[in-house]
Structures are given as structure tokens and as C-alpha cells.
Chains A and B, each alone.
Chain A
Amino acid sequence: MLRAARICPRLARHHAQWRSVTTSSSIQTPHGHLPSTQSPIISELKFFNSVTGDGTQIPTYRVLDGGGKPIEGAQVPELDEAVARRMYEQMVQLPTIDNLMYQVQRQGKIPFYMTHYGEEATLIGSAAALALDDEVLAQYRELGILLWRDWPIDALMNSCFGNCEDIASKGKQMPMHIGSAAHHFHMISSPLATQIPQAAGVGFALKRDPARRGKNCAVVYFGEGAASEGDFHAGMMFASTIPSPTLFIARNNGFAISTPASEQYYGDGIAARGPGYGVHTIRVDGNDVLAMYNATKEARRLCIEEGRGVLLEAMSYRVGHHSTSDDSFAYRGRQEVEDRKRLDNPLSRFRLFLESRGWWSASDEEELRSRLKKDVLAAYRRAETLPRPPVSEMFDTVYGGEEPWTITENREELKRLLKKYGQTWGPWQAELQKHKGAGQDLMGS
């Protein structure tokens, strides 16, 4: 394997304090170099604008073609049948959940939802290649990672309804803002890219922890739109400069709400930025679950072994609308989406591969789809009937330790108002009934 010291001797020397690897090699150039850089001095006036040197774009790594066959020279990962089947099942589970939740949001039963259509392979391929206790920091379209780690569908449904069994945020955040400490999946928040420099901090903490050093990395997911935020720049820079084992996975699905990637950047995608930060980088066909698996596995190994950031750009296509608050046909053609769905479907690609191995059949497919539908519907029905958390939960966990007087007084004030108006002011009266205990937790003696 390649060591960082061979690839990037300048970085190795600059940060000798951080690593045991040192190098004595010095590049010989006729005109020498400036004190702040190893860059050779030249006399030719020459600009450049390409990472690859010859002007071509960074290539995209692929294992399976559209028909589920390994492409020439590609190495198929050694997956046993059980794991491969589970990957496919998890991929199918995503649209099963998405279909139902999208519909019920349309019916007004949950306030909001975001689908994962078209990114199933990106999510499951990477999830399967990570250790179950690698710390994941996600954007919002990464449900597959948590489900791969056996986060119960019940937990998802409870979170979408913000009911009294929602352990993710206790009814405080919007649907799809999920997280589970037990599953090493940090809580999702709406502000884009904020999780990226946080991931570098998480990576650094892992490296400082003797029990996890060399075993785990931080993994941060974000879209190509979020990569335009200043926090992306900060995160990449911190993970490379303050070496922190952080795997950056950019989901480049072509759109940030209505903005096409062509209006998001002028360079060669997100991958082209990695080398600028001194970060090992790869671009992967995000619709090819085996390519995602291989690339993530190797990226993770590199990340942990060198204790530093690695960037993986997964190319896919956002088949669904941005969210339930978005009609994407206002800015892209219906036909374009249909074509993409037909030509390059990550699920059928992997299914064809499984079938070619004799690992999957039409009856397996039928059994899976009806089982998933049944399970998802059962979890949905259960979550739907549960009341919201007790009203007093609203004031809990703003602070740790002693509760500040401001919040205690807020609580008392609402209690007074509920006692006075709770049974007479229509909007409150109806709303109280949706909460566990109907406000008695607050109003009770």
C-alpha cells in the first residue's frame, strides 16, 4: 500500500510532530524553492486548472455495469451470500419506507419527510463497509446507515410522529432528524454542513482514545450543495491539518433543492477539492453498491491507518423530490427523471448481480417486498396511535445540571396559563389531548 510519506513528502515533513513517519528525501531542482514550500521554481509562465494534470476529469470507480455484471478489471468484493442478501434487503427497505411515508405526509399525517430514492446504493454500500461503531455524522438523507445498524423501524416511525416513544429527539426536531448514541449515529440537525468540522473533532477524539485509536474513524455524510458552505472548507482543512481519522462522504446527487450542480461549482465536482487539502480522494459510482462497498472499505482503512481525512465523492442522482415541501418538476423535466430511473437503477443493478450468482430469485423478491411492506406498515400503525410526549418535556434538557431560573419560570408560566385557559381556549384544548397526560404532568398538583 502507499504511505502518505511517499505520496506527499511535503505534508509529512510539515507535520512531523503529528506522525512517526519522517522522510529525508529532498526534491532537487535547478532553481531551488522558496522557504515556505517545496514547490520547484520554474521559468515558464504557466497556469493550470485540473487535478489530473492532463485536463481530464477525475475518473469514477465502478465494479458493476448497468446489467449487474462486473466490468473488466474490477475486483468484486468477497461478500458472502448472507451479507449480500442483507445489503439488497436493506436497499429495498428504503423505498418501501419512503413510499409509505411520502404518501402519509401527503395526507397530512406527518409534517415532513425526505426520501432516499436513487441513493440506496450509496447509503447501504458505505454502511456495510463501515464498522458498526464508527461514529457517523449525517446530513438528513442517510436513514440507510442507521437501519443497517439495526436501528428499529419503530424508532424511525416514532421520530416522524414525534410521539412519546421518540427516543431520538423526544418530539423536538422535525421528521428525519434522527440519531442514536447507542448506534454511534450523531443527531442530525438542519443547518447544512455544520456536522463537517464537528466530524473532524470526533475523529480527533477517537484518535486520542486509547480504546478506539486505530480501530475507528468518524464518517461524515453531506450533499454536494452542503459542500459549498464554509464549514466544508473548515472540516476538510482541520481533518488534514490536525490529523483526524475522518472519512468524508459527499453524496453528489446533482441537485441542491432546485439548484443543479452546474450552478453549485465550476470545478470538477467535490473530489477535485480533496487534493487541495492534501487529502486522499476517490470518486465512486454511487449507484453501484459494490463500488461503494469497496471504496468505503479502502477509504476507511486509509483513514484509520494514516489517522487523517479521506474524501469519497459518490455520484448518484436524486430521483425523488428534495423533500415533501418541494415539487422538483418545477425545475427539471419529468422525462429526465424517468430516464434516469429506467437507465440506472441501483436496486435492479444489484439484483441482477445477485441473480447471476444464484443468490436471489423472483420468489425471494416477492417474499421480501411483502414482508417489508407488512413490517413498515405495522411500525407506522403503532407509532400513529401513540400520543405526543408530555407537555413538560418541552422544557427538559435545554441545559445539563441545575435548571436555570429562566426555564423554570417559563415552565411555571405555561402551567398557570394552561390551568387558566387549557379547557376553554379551543386551539389549546384540542392540542392538549394529543399529548401524553393531556398536560396534567404540568398542571397536576
Chain B
Amino acid sequence: MNLYQAVRDALSNAMMRDDTAVVFGEDVAFGGVFRCTMGLAEEFGRERVFNTPLSEQGIAGFGIGLASMGHTAIAEIQFADYIFPAFDQIVNEAAKFRYRSGGQFNAGSLTIRCPSMAVGHGGHYHSQSPEGFFLAAAGIKVVIPRSPIQAKGLLLASIRDPNPVIFMEPKILYRSAVEQVPVDDYQLPIGRAETLVSGSDVTLLSWGTPIYHCETAMHMLNSPPETLARHVPESLRSAKVELVDLRTILPWDVDAIVESVTRTGRLVIVHEAGRTGGVGAEISAEVQKRCFLKLDAPVKLVTGWDTPVPLAFEKFYTPDALRVLDALVETLSY
């Protein structure tokens, strides 16, 4: 399955087990603009898979209402870039629903899915990674998968988590990431990072699309192409990089990251969103507090620039393999 098929499979699994589960959003009934809801309306009926009017604040509010009645609401925002009209409903309402009512009410059965991150030509409003904006919204969870297996397991866990979850799907992976995905119902834990490659010299932390750039950079570090060889000192080529996928942005897995950095003494964080006020800033502050005596180099951030995502300049905007390689070299040779 590719990633969109894995998402569709997760939705089907969720709806099969739970009669209260409904899927709604803009254009989901015919299958969705990214095919994530293909055939679901035929499988479960239009009462359970339906289009909404084009209003993000309406979609979020409607979903909160459903969830407050204990129904499982799986809402789609067509692009993460368009989640901002729903920001008030998410931050002031969904996130605070349980707390403000002393536990009498909650919107825990709400999940908001949205395609996110750059796609090569998305410009300002089809490329954003807004996870950092939700970092301060205590009461919600934010989850980002890197692959089809991850997407299905994490989405099923998000749908069943007792808290409202924003699930951001890296849209460039919808078709490009393909792997064998179990057709069974399974879940992956929310709030846990996953170590993809073990290492002892530097921790490389990322989530979503840039995980693949990190992987490429690691190969380039070990055996740099001829054109880059002079930038990669021989002494660093055998460096053991530990690659970690954060998976959950809020609440993020501090134990795993701190344990890793305590061993490696070095941390490079890679994300597509701009640097200032981003998730990397939060993690590096926490890591320097907890690993102060263990750090052998400053925590390095490789991020999008502090500009809107620019159409014609995307190659220079995104934190690609070269920028990650440069950060690894800088950090390892500090």
C-alpha cells in the first residue's frame, strides 16, 4: 500500500469497529482530493462519509459537537495550510473542552486529518507544516507519520485516543511511499518516538518527509558522492548517526530524545517549518536543560527559512539531504 491507501485502510478499519464513526470534510464523499477516502462512501453509506460545506471553522466545530456526544468524528481539512480558520475551534474549544468542564464533557473522540508539508510546487498555501502553532495548545495531540505502516497504526491510535488529535499526513508521501501494510487492525503508540537507525555519535531527529532526506544524508556522510567528498572529512565518514522519528509532536517523547542525546552528545533536528518559534526550538531548549553536561556540540536546527514557503525557490527552502549532511559534518566536527 502507499500512504493514501494506508490512510483509507485505517479509516475503513475504524468505521467497521465503531458504528458512531463518521468521516467528513470538503470533497471526501467522492474519495477526496488525495484519494484517502476512496470507496468509503460506497462501503459505509453517505450518512457516515459525507461532504461538508466549504468552511474549516464549521468542520472543526461540527466535529467537536459530534465528539461531545461521544461519537467518533474524523474530520478532514483539505490542506494543513487551511486549518487556520479552525484555529479558534481547535485551540479555544477542542483543546480546553475537558479541562474547562472539570471532566464533564470532552472532545476526545475528534480526529482532524490534514495533508501537510511541501510537495515540490505548492507555494504558500499547499506546503505548510503548521505543527509548531499547535505546540502550545495543551489538551490536544499532534501526530505525523512517515510511511504507510506508520500512517495506519498511528491514525487508528489517534482516532481511538481519548483526546482530540491533529493528524498531519505528509502529502508528498501519499503516492511515493509504498510498503507492505498489514490489513489487520493495529495501532502504534502515540507519544513515542522511534529509533530507525541506532548510532553512538550524533542523534538526528526529524518527522514526516524530511526523515527521507535524513536517510539520504546519512548515506552521503558514509560514502559521499565525488562532488561532495572534499566537504566530508575522512574521519567523520564512519560516524554512527542515530536516526530518530519523533512521530508525535505533542506530547513529544522527551525520554527517548534525552536518552539518545545522553549517549551521543550531539543533536541535529530537522523540520520543514521555519525556525523561529518552531518545534525544533522547543526540543533544543529542553535538551540543553537536561543534557547540558553531556553535550559536545550546540544543538543544530535544519529547518525551512523564516519566510513563507516560496514557489520558485522551494529547492533552496526545504531542509534537503545536503543541508542535513552539512549540519551533521558541522556538528560532528565541532
Contacts and interface: CB of A to CB of B under 8 A. Distances in A.
B58 A197 contact: yes
Given A167-B102, A189-B96, A398-B139, A205 B57 contact: no
A136 interface: no
Nearest to B63: A201
A404 B61 contact: no
Contact of A241 (B20, B53, B66, B162): B53
Given A169-B100, A201-B73, A234 B251 contact: no
B68 A202 contact: yes
B317 interface: no
B47 A208 contact: yes
Contact of B191 (A135, A209, A404): A404
Nearest to A393: B102
A202 B61 contact: no
Interface in A398-425: 398-402, 404-407
A398 B98 CA distance: 6
Nearest to A167: B102
Given A208-B20, A400-B108, A237 B92 contact: no
A202 B88 contact: no
A161 to B, nearest CB: 14
A209 B70 CA distance: 11
Contacts of A242: 24, 50, 52-53, 62
B21 to A, nearest CB: 10
B139 A399 contact: yes
A116 interface: no
A391 interface: no
Contact of B57 (A197, A203, A407): A197
Interface stretch (A21-29, A72-80, A101-109, A171-179): A171-179
A197 B65 contact: yes
Interface in B7-49: 20, 22, 24, 46-47
Given A401-B163, A405-B255, A238 B138 contact: no
A166 interface: yes
B165 to A, nearest CB: 11
B318 interface: no
Interface string A178-207: 011100001101010010111111111110
B264 to A, nearest CB: 21
B250 to A, nearest CB: 8
* B-side interface size class: 35 or more
A237 B65 contact: no
A201 B66 contact: yes
Contacts of A170: 102-103
A273 B103 CA distance: 36
B260 interface: no
Nearest to B140: A399
A17 interface: yes
B101 interface: yes
A396 interface: yes
Contacts of A204: 62, 65-66
A152 interface: no
A55 B50 CA distance: 38
B102 A200 contact: no
B4 interface: no
Contacts of A205: 20, 65-66, 69-71
**Residue with the highest number of chain A CB atoms closer than 10 Å, among B61, B65, B67, B71:** B65
B176 interface: no
B333 interface: no
B69 A202 contact: yes
A279 interface: no
A312 interface: no
A231 interface: yes
B62 A201 contact: yes
Nearest to B61: A197
Contact of B69 (A135, A187, A235, A400): A135
A230 interface: yes
Contacts of A181: 101, 104-105
Interface string A141-171: 0000000000000000000000000111110
A177 B100 contact: yes
Nearest to A203: B65
Contacts of B191: 402, 404
A234 B63 CA distance: 12
A209 B93 CA distance: 24
Contacts of A402: 191
A191 B99 contact: no
Contact of A194 (B93, B108, B161, B255): B93
A128 interface: no
A191 B58 CA distance: 15
Contact of B98 (A177, A197, A230, A399): A399
A202 B65 contact: yes
Given A397-B103, A399-B139, A407-B138, A186 B53 contact: no
B188 interface: no
Q: Which of B24, B61, B93 has the most CB of A within 10 A?
A: B61
30 contacts: A135-B69, A169-B100, A170-B102, A177-B100, A187-B97, A187-B100, A187-B101, A194-B88, A197-B89, A198-B61, A200-B62, A201-B69, A201-B73, A202-B65, A202-B68, A205-B69, A208-B20, A208-B71, A209-B69, A218-B65, A235-B58, A237-B53, A238-B52, A238-B58, A396-B103, A397-B102, A399-B139, A399-B163, A402-B191, A404-B251
Given A201-B61, A398-B138, 20 more contacts: A167-B104, A189-B92, A191-B92, A194-B88, A194-B92, A194-B93, A196-B61, A197-B60, A197-B62, A197-B89, A201-B69, A204-B62, A208-B22, A208-B47, A209-B69, A230-B57, A237-B58, A238-B62, A406-B138, A406-B251
Identify the 4 closest CB pairs spanning chains A and B, nearest first. A201-B65, A197-B61, A234-B58, A170-B102
Interface of A: 17-18, 135, 137, 166-170, 172-173, 177, 179-181, 186-187, 189, 191, 194, 196-206, 208-209, 218, 230-231, 233-235, 237-238, 241-242, 396-402, 404-407
